[in-house]
């Protein structure tokens, strides 16, 4: 079985802009953001569907997502951090954390075709700084 795109990013075979890493999951900026600060939380193990996650891993992913979401909300001054699990783009479970102010902000049809490395680095730097301020252990 070939590795997923996300596994290749996690292993460093493809560049990624990470904001968080621990023994179970990572979080990195998506290259197709719906809004500035759009982050993916991804388990290190390749699990295709979120419904196949162990309860322990599922709980961990959602706790990490909540910590990152709190940091995003502070940094991007948005009304909410939307969490979407679509699961069609890459066969590797991933949680989309999207700074948003309305339902209209959440359409994948509005996702950027690509984001510049500078844009991703700027957003990641802000999120990492806030995670560190919050004393989140896995912040990079």
pLDDT by residue, tens only, the chain of 140 residues? 589 999 999 999 999 999 999 999 999 999 999 999 999 999 999 999 999 999 999 999 999 999 999 999 999 999 999 999 998 889 999 999 999 999 988 888 888 888 999 999 999 999 999 999 999 999 99
Structural domain includes residue 83 = yes
Structural domain includes residue 37 = yes
CATH number at residue 33: 3.30.428.10
Whole-Å CA distances, 3 to 25, 43, 48, 86, 90: 16, 14, 12, 20, 11
Q: Indicate the number of domains in the chain.
A: 1
Structural domain includes residue 138 = no
The candidate with the shortest Cα–Cα distance to 3, out of 17, 16, 14, 18, is 14
Find the domain containing 52 and state its range.
5-133
Structural domain includes residue 62 = yes
pTM of the predicted structure, to 2 decimals: 0.94
């Amino acid at each position: 079985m070939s590795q997923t795109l996300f596994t290749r990013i996690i292993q460093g075979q493809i560049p990624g802009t990470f904001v968080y890493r621990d023994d179970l999951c990572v979080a990195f900026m998506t290259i197709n953001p719906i809004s500035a600060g759009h982050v993916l939380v991804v388990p290190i193990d390749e699990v295709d569907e979120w419904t196949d996650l162990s309860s322990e891993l599922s709980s961990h992913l959602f706790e990490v997502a909540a910590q990152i979401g709190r940091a995003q909300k502070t940094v991007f001054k948005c009304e909410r951090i939307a969490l979407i699990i679509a699961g069609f783009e890459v066969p590797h479970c991933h949680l989309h954390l999207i700074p948003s102010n309305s339902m209209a902000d959440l359409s994948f049809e509005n996702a950027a075709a690509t984001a510049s490395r500078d844009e991703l680095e700027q957003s990641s730097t802000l999120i990492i700084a806030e995670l560190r301020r919050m004393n989140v252990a896995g912040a990079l």
